[in-house]
Structures are given as C-alpha cells and as structure tokens.
Structure 1
Amino acid sequence: MKVLKVIALLLDYPDEMVQTYGGELIDVIGGEHRLESGTRRQLVELVRRRQEADLMDVQAEYVGLFDRSRSLSLHLFEHVHGESRDRGQAMVDLQNVYREEGLEVSANELPDYVPLFLEFCSRLPEENAKAWLEEVWHLLQLLHGRLAERDSEYQWLFKGLIELGGLETADEQLQRQLRDEERDDTPEKLDEVWAEEPVTFGPTSGGCGGATTNQGQAVPVDWSALKRNSA
C-alpha cells in the first residue's frame, strides 16, 4: 500500500520532502479509498498546512509532541516492553524480519520506529500489511486516542493506519481511560523524570525496554508469529 509510505513520511522528523513533493502526496492520499472520506480530507489538509508552514516551526512542534512524552513515543517497543531486557531481543527479532524482506536498518535507526515499520509494511502484499497493522492495533489505538486528546493533527495519521488495517478505533472504555490519563509532558512531570532517571555506567541491560501501557499492564507483541506472512 503506497499510502503507508506517505504516512511514514508524515510521521518522520519533518524535512523539506513534504514541501517539495506535497502534490504527489496529496494525489496518493486522494486516491486511497480504503480511507474514509473525512480522513482523506484531514490528511490532505495536513499536507497543505505543512507545505505552507515554516519548517522550523513544524520541527519544533514535532519535537515538543513526540520527544517530550513517553506516552506518545514513536518507538513501538517503548509501549510494549518499557525498559526491560525483552526490548533488546524484540529489536533483534524485528530487524531480522525486515532483513528477510530486503529492508536493511542503518546503525543509527531502531527497527521499532513507526515510520520504519510502515516502510516495511508498504513492501508487503495488502493482506500481510494489514496483518502487521493488526498486530500493533492496541498501540495504534492508544496513540490515536492520546493525540486526539491533545487535538493534534497527527491523530489523523494513526486514524488512517487503523482504517487501512480494517480495524476499530478506541472503544468508550479506552476513550474514558485516555481522558483520565495524567499527561507526562508537563514541566512538572518532565522534572520528575529527570529526577528519577538512574545514572548508569558501562553496558546497559539491553537498552530497549518492555512497554507497559499507562494502565500498567505489559502487552506482549509476538512478532515472530507473523514472520511467515512477511515473506
């Protein structure tokens, strides 16, 4: 699905690509009828706003949104494994899946980064891509819901992913939980994180944690179960 590449680009750190190729991106979005009409319209408007906006302003907004909040992390395993040892092995497993599909991950990239994951999905037959999106459905719901609570235009990118996977957005119970969540990107919360962050020297314990949800429940994702579908 070519539109997955478009969403990957729009979720990556902003650069000149959207301003340069905005017309082509709009064409892909406009022709993607697996998306609801309202979602297509919002995504087209997002691209147009990006084209007209000052790039440095867009970059500052992006950093303030995704880099200051663990609950909005664009690294999937941050939500699945947190900081446990399991995250490192999950990274290795996912990188091996990418490699089987011919997608090499550079040394400065983490395989669970959402835009990279979408690049991988875009190379697959539609049904296999949808199976991978379903595998991370609960994470897409969380990110969409949290961004919607912040009234961020990025919510529409995750809404689009949910629709492309043929999935459902958060139900009323999850929406209520998200409304009641305490934000982790306030100055006070950021100060607490800095104060609590342990200082370690030497090798880390794996560096790629086991994401617990904000409800405190670990949600395992069995990437190996879908390896046969990615070939």
Structure 2
Amino acid sequence: MSPLPATVPAMVRTRVRAAIRRPSRLTPKEAEARALLLRLCSLLLQYPDRELTMARQELASAVSALPSSPAAEQLAAFVSWFADEQPEALEQTYVETFDLRRKSSLYLTYYLHGDTRRRGMALLTLNQRYRAAGWDTGGGELPDHLPVVLEFAALAGTGGGEAPLRRHRRGLELIHRALTDADSPYRHVLATLLTLLPPPTEADLAAVARLAAEGPPDEEVGLAPYGSFGDGEFAPPDTFMPPAPAPTSRTEGHR
C-alpha cells in the first residue's frame, strides 16, 4: 500500500478543528451562553436611544456576570466606555460611526452585493428565512441590519440562525477593521462577534483586502429601498435608488 499523501494529516487536523467548533455540538449550557453573547452584541450595536441608555447599568451587570473568556473581555471593554459617556455623545458617536461611514455600515448585504440587483434578492431571501422560522422583525430595519441578524441568530439557534452571520463573515471582518482603524469603542463588540465565528481563511483575508481597496460591486441599476414597491418586491428594472440611509432623526435623539 502506498503511503498517505503528506496533506492528509493537515486535512484531518482541519476537520477535527471544524468538528470541535461546530455549533451543533455545543451543550445546552454552551448554546445558552452563546445566545446571550449574540443578544448582548445585538443590543449594544443598536442606536443608543433613551431606552437603551437607561438600561446601561443592567447591560454592564450582565456583561460582568459572563464567564471569563476573550469575548467577555471585549464586551467589558466596550460597556466600560458605554456606561460613562453622556447620552448625546453616544448618539453622535453612533451616527458618525455607522451612518456616515460606508466601511462600517451595519447593512451586511452591501458588502457582498453593493448597490446591485443581487442585493435586493439577498434582502428578500433573508426576510424569507426569518418568516420560515416564524420570526417577524417588525419592519423597523432592513433584514440585513446587523443587530437584526444577531437577534435572529440568538433566537433561532446555532445552525440556520447563525447561517447569515457565516455567509457575511467577510463583511463583518471589514467592519471590524474599519472600526479598529478609527479606534472606535465599537470595535470591541465586533471583536466579540468574530470570536463566535470560524477563523477567516486565506481566501477570506484576501477578499477583505480587495473589498477594503476596491469597495463592493457598484452596478447602479435596479435597486430600490427594500420593500418600497410592496412586501419584498423589487423596483422596476430601469430604476435606481440607493439603499435607504439611517433616519436623520437619530441626531435628534429619536430612533
């Protein structure tokens, strides 16, 4: 019998690591802890309206009660800043960070599809996934808004619930890089989230570098704000409207 190829041990190690990290193998306690981390990330990435800022001490207590881990350390660093800032400063920081900078936008399909027809289909598919799971987003945000995706992941579980996060792994990496470059406290929340996902591959890192340098696709045709032509319908083929920006009223303290 011929000897095994030299690549086989490496392949075996890769598969073993993947099996260990596979969310479906988590114990019920681990799955519950994972869901809590996802829900905390979802809350902390939402616009800091009055309701959220009033709950800062509760959030800080929830984070301090987490078992020691790299994710818990990252969240602790964020809530330390979050708890000390004035509400008006939090609002301004959020708008400047996520609404005025495309490289740290929280709308995930933008990084994969840009302003193209494919983004409209991706939004529709994502919304159908939510409905199939019996979950209604309430229509307050687009279905690819990261806090919405995180809340779904926390509610629906590690398999299908986290699939959108895994699909948009490269976009999440780009957001984290942009926040790190800007020295934003929100980089800690993205770092927490990335600890829950498989590590990036060489192909992922190369794609993120290209995305950072070139931006996403920019076919400026056929995309209207999601749902503006009906429940999940698309704009006419000859119509172009960019994705709806975050509400300007945010700067006035109203979400």
TM-score of the aligned structures, taking structure 2 as reference length = 0.63
Distance 1:165 1:28, change over 3 A: farther
Offset of residue 16 of structure 1:
2.9
State the partner residue of 1:134. 166
Q: How does 1:65-214 map to 2 (within 5 A)?
A: 65-168=97-200, 177=209, 205=239, 207=241
Distance 1:96 1:66, change over 3 A: same
Offset of residue 65 of structure 1:
1.4
Count residues in correspondence: 191
What's the CA shift string for 1:94-146, capped at 9, x where partnerless? 11111122221334421111111111111122344444432221111111111
SS of 2:156's partner is coil
Distance 1:207 1:6, change over 3 A: farther
State the partner residue of 1:188. none
State the partner residue of 2:39. 5
Paired residue type of 1:24: E
SS of 1:97's partner is helix
Distance 1:172 1:85, change over 3 A: closer
- Distance across 2 between alignment mates of 1:155 and 1:78: 19
What's the CA shift string for 1:158-184, capped at 9, x where partnerless? 111111124349999659949x8599x
Offset of residue 78 of structure 1:
1.3
Relative contact order: is structure 1 or structure 2 higher (C-alpha 8 Å, sep ≥ 6)? 1
**Residue of structure 2 aligned with 1:54, choices 70, 73, 86:** 86
- Distance across 2 between alignment mates of 1:146 and 1:170: 19
Distance 1:62 1:96, change over 3 A: same
Instruction: Check conservation: 2:41, 2:189, Cα contact below 8 A.
Output: yes
State the partner residue of 2:23. none
- Distance across 2 between alignment mates of 1:50 and 1:85: 38
Offset of residue 56 of structure 1:
1.0
Instruction: Check conservation: 2:38, 2:154, Cα contact below 8 A.
Output: yes
1:44 aligns with 2:40: no
State the partner residue of 2:55. 21
Which is further off, 39-48 or 149-158? 39-48
TM-score of the aligned structures, taking structure 1 as reference length = 0.68
**Which 5+ residue runs of structure 2 have no aligned equivalent?**
1-34, 222-228, 230-234, 244-255
- Measured on the aligned residues, the alpha-carbon RMSD in Å equals 3.5
SS of 1:109's partner is coil
Offset of residue 47 of structure 1:
1.7
SS of 1:56's partner is helix
Distance 1:79 1:173, change over 3 A: closer
Q: Indicate the structure (1 or 2) with the bigger Cα radius of gyration.
A: 2
Offset of residue 11 of structure 1:
0.8
Paired residue type of 1:6: L
SS of 1:126's partner is coil
